[in-house]
A and B are shown apart, each in its own frame.
Chain A
Amino acid sequence: MNETLVVNGRRQRVSRLTRLLESEKALAGALLAPGVAILVIFIAYPFVMALWFSLTSIRVGDQGQFVGLANFTKAINDTIFQQAFKNTVFYTFWATIFKLALGMWLALLLNRHFRFKRIVRASMLLPFIIPTVLSAFAWRWMFDPTFSVMNWGLYHAGMITDRLPFLSDGDWAMWCAVAVNTWRGMPFFAITLLAGLQTISPDLHEAAALDGANAWNRFWHVTWPLLLPVTLVVVVFSVIQTFSDFQLIYVLTGGGPANSTHLIATYAYQIGVGSGLLGEGAALSLFMFPVLFAVVWVQLRSLRRMENA
């Protein structure tokens, strides 16, 4: 008697739950809850806290007090930060240009038919798969002042008589970082653009060729306009990741020599974690926000325009 009641009770509860989940709204709420909860707790909440931190003098072991915009004005007058901001813009600009140009070229090459295409394409993605920190160590070793294999190669090819100061000179180090970032990000461009290329009908190219267009004109007037939407999205993703990059510089140069290769993120880490000045560190990394926001805004707007078009 008791048992059947319990069973009945449970069945009723179960059916009430299933009935509730038959409502689209309730089901949607239940399905979205776990993901949204994680995103709110670990993205939205820390973002609000970052804003609050940046307005206080909080440091490790000290709650600090409200200081208004002092952290921001201090950052703007900090010559190392000015350098870091310039570096970040430089790094993002050149690395994105190179990634786009080389990635596009690689995509065009990979779009042809050739033997071992699958394995070549798969191995081209390796720099993107392998943890950046680990491959950045390989690059650092290749740039080593004393044992650099590239110095060895260039020397024995008769192209240099003295070693190149890859990571020991500020300007050189910045360009080396751009090169390594290009190496790492190029496959992402290439593979994504390749996916875009494959949707372009070969008939268009043949028609253009019959009309007498050469390879460059075919690329410029047929391929490029059709690829533009994909290109835009890839560039946006890449700009965000490059602008906020941390690990590559952390391993390759650590911001040196003499702070000449710091990015916003590595400098914020040095101040926020290295020196324990949480408020100042949070303010420094918030300088990334307006730029990232602008990029995302442009992206959302142009996506919408393309959808409407």
Chain B
Amino acid sequence: MLIERKWKKWVYFYLPMAVFIVFTLFPFYWMAVTAFRPDPELYATWRQPNAAPLWTLHPTLEHVKGLLQTTAFPTWLWNTMLIAIVSTIISLICGMFAGYALARLRFRGSEFLGTAIFITYLVPQTLLFIPLADIIRDMQLGNTPWALMLTYPTILIPFCTWLLMGYFKTIPKELEECARIDGATRFGAMVRIIFPVAIPGILSAGIFAFTLSWNEFIYALVFMASADQKTVPVGVVSELIRGDIFFWGQLMAGALLGSVPVALVYSFFVEYYVTGLTGSVKG
């Protein structure tokens, strides 16, 4: 082992680590502190001598209450949750099927299809949102949750497919062959033998897909017009700023409450998320 002196460890490890931690987490701390801060404390200018912005002296729930009672925030939260769950499920099913086909079945054009799906992974939403808004309108999906439930999978299916394809390849072929000898069909062997074995991979893809759906912004911004159909990110941007006035207490309360569900889901599945994240770029 490489032995280090104590001061060296402080300079080369603890100090930079501490800076990284503060840099990474301070905005969230600040979000939380602001959300519970009464307006008089909130709007104390930066040079005011007795201002102590790093801590809230008289925490209040007024912003949270205002957010939940006077805005459609609970509806946005519900919309976001529903859309994220449905688009994740759709993407997982498509990704499991396509991933299995690409990993296990021999057919012409399989390599081409794999590459094509990988390329769609790299097409950004900002390239497509203008014509896509038109298509959504033509399909009469505008302003309905289906507009997002069907378009979010375009972002999610490619990496679900790639991630699961990689996972399926690690499962020994003998497992299926045994089942097939016992009389299972190809489809049956896939559903009953391979999918259960692949649950960790499916979970990774699912968690990653869920956080991405929760994060999506431009499609939701363009496709959803009425206040009661919006998702949290769009609702916060478009409904919590009245005119030119930013109500920072309420905005930060919205940001905090909008982040908690996805952070909770993440915290339960950190390891799966990390597998999904690192696997998603391996290709």
A contact residues around B246 at 8 Å (CB): 141
Contact of A195 among B54, B90, B278 (CB under 8 A): B278
**Contact between chains at B232 and A134 (CB < 8 Å):** yes
Shortest A113–chain B CB gap in Å is 10
**Contact between chains at A34 and B94 (CB < 8 Å):** yes
**Contact between chains at B20 and A109 (CB < 8 Å):** yes
Shortest B57–chain A CB gap in Å is 15
Shortest B148–chain A CB gap in Å is 11
Contact of A126 among B28, B44, B131 (CB under 8 A): B28
In angstroms, Cα B246 to Cα A191, docked, is 35
**Contact between chains at A28 and B128 (CB < 8 Å):** no
Specify the chain A residue showing the minimal Cβ separation from B110.
A28
B contact residues around A289 at 8 Å (CB): 127
Specify the chain A residue showing the minimal Cβ separation from B94.
A35
**Contact between chains at B20 and A137 (CB < 8 Å):** no
Please, what's the 1-or-0 string for A108-121, where 1 marks a CB less than 8 Å from any CB in chain B? 01001010001010
A contact residues around B93 at 8 Å (CB): 34
9 A-B interface contacts by CB (under 8 A): A27-B186, A43-B128, A47-B123, A131-B217, A146-B45, A268-B130, A273-B133, A273-B222, A288-B124
Contact of B20 among A122, A124, A234 (CB under 8 A): A124
Q: Would you list which residues of chain A between 95 and 148 have a CB under 8 Å from chain B?
A: 102, 105-106, 109, 112, 114, 118, 120, 122-135, 137-139, 141-142, 144, 146-148
**Contact between chains at A149 and B255 (CB < 8 Å):** no
In angstroms, Cα B65 to Cα A257, docked, is 34
Contact of A132 among B95, B161, B215 (CB under 8 A): B215
Please, what's the 1-or-0 string for A20-44, where 1 marks a CB less than 8 Å from any CB in chain B? 0110110111011011101101111
**Contact between chains at A126 and B262 (CB < 8 Å):** no
Known contacts A38-B90, A39-B120, A132-B217; 9 additional CB pairs below 8 A are A24-B105, A39-B158, A109-B13, A125-B266, A152-B46, A265-B126, A268-B130, A269-B126, A300-B115
**Contact between chains at A134 and B258 (CB < 8 Å):** yes
User: In the complex where A132-B217, A191-B274 touch, is A49 in contact with B27 (Cβ < 8 A)?
Assistant: no
Specify the chain B residue showing the minimal Cβ separation from A278.
B130
Q: Would you list which residues of chain A between 222 and 277 have a CB under 8 Å from chain B?
A: 230, 233-234, 237, 240-241, 243-247, 250-251, 264-265, 268-269, 272-273
In angstroms, Cα B263 to Cα A91, docked, is 28
Main secondary structure of the interface of A (DSSP, over half): helix
**Contact between chains at B124 and A43 (CB < 8 Å):** no
**Contact between chains at B119 and A296 (CB < 8 Å):** yes
B contact residues around A186 at 8 Å (CB): 24
Check: A167 CB closer than 8 A to any chain B CB.
Answer: no
**Contact between chains at B283 and A233 (CB < 8 Å):** yes
User: In the complex where A36-B113, A146-B46, A268-B130 touch, is A45 in contact with B101 (Cβ < 8 A)?
Assistant: no
**Contact between chains at B131 and A53 (CB < 8 Å):** yes
B contact residues around A273 at 8 Å (CB): 129-130, 133, 222
Check: B89 CB closer than 8 A to any chain A CB.
Answer: no
B contact residues around A127 at 8 Å (CB): 24, 27
Check: B167 CB closer than 8 A to any chain A CB.
Answer: no
Among listed B149-157, B170-178, B195-203, interface-contacting one: B149-157
Shortest B217–chain A CB gap in Å is 4
Check: B51 CB closer than 8 A to any chain A CB.
Answer: yes
**Contact between chains at A38 and B154 (CB < 8 Å):** yes
In angstroms, Cα B245 to Cα A168, docked, is 16
Check: B81 CB closer than 8 A to any chain A CB.
Answer: no
Shortest A240–chain B CB gap in Å is 5
Specify the chain B residue showing the minimal Cβ separation from A146.
B45
Q: Would you list which residues of chain B between 94 and 139 have a CB under 8 Å from chain A?
A: 94-95, 97-98, 100-102, 105-108, 110, 113, 115, 117, 119-120, 122-135
User: In the complex where A130-B263, A246-B218 touch, is A35 in contact with B34 (Cβ < 8 A)?
Assistant: no
Contact of A50 among B47, B102, B130, B233 (CB under 8 A): B130
Among listed A3-11, A75-83, A279-287, interface-contacting one: A279-287
B contact residues around A205 at 8 Å (CB): 2
Shortest B239–chain A CB gap in Å is 13
User: In the complex where A28-B105, A49-B135, A134-B236 touch, is A296 in contact with B122 (Cβ < 8 A)?
Assistant: yes
A contact residues around B20 at 8 Å (CB): 102, 106, 109, 124
**Contact between chains at B127 and A32 (CB < 8 Å):** no
Going nearest first, the 5 A-B pairs with the smallest beta carbon separation are A244-B124, A35-B94, A49-B131, A265-B126, A133-B233
B contact residues around A191 at 8 Å (CB): 274, 277-278
**Contact between chains at A31 and B130 (CB < 8 Å):** no
**Contact between chains at A131 and B258 (CB < 8 Å):** yes
In angstroms, Cα B222 to Cα A247, docked, is 12
**Contact between chains at A142 and B30 (CB < 8 Å):** yes
Contact of A35 among B2, B21, B95 (CB under 8 A): B95
In angstroms, Cα B262 to Cα A149, docked, is 27
Shortest A186–chain B CB gap in Å is 8
Please, what's the 1-or-0 string for B69-102, where 1 marks a CB less than 8 Å from any CB in chain A? 0000000000000000000001001110110111
Shortest A276–chain B CB gap in Å is 10
B contact residues around A105 at 8 Å (CB): 16
Shortest B104–chain A CB gap in Å is 9
Contact of A147 among B42, B113, B233 (CB under 8 A): B42
**Contact between chains at A123 and B46 (CB < 8 Å):** no
**Contact between chains at B94 and A244 (CB < 8 Å):** no
**Contact between chains at A138 and B31 (CB < 8 Å):** yes
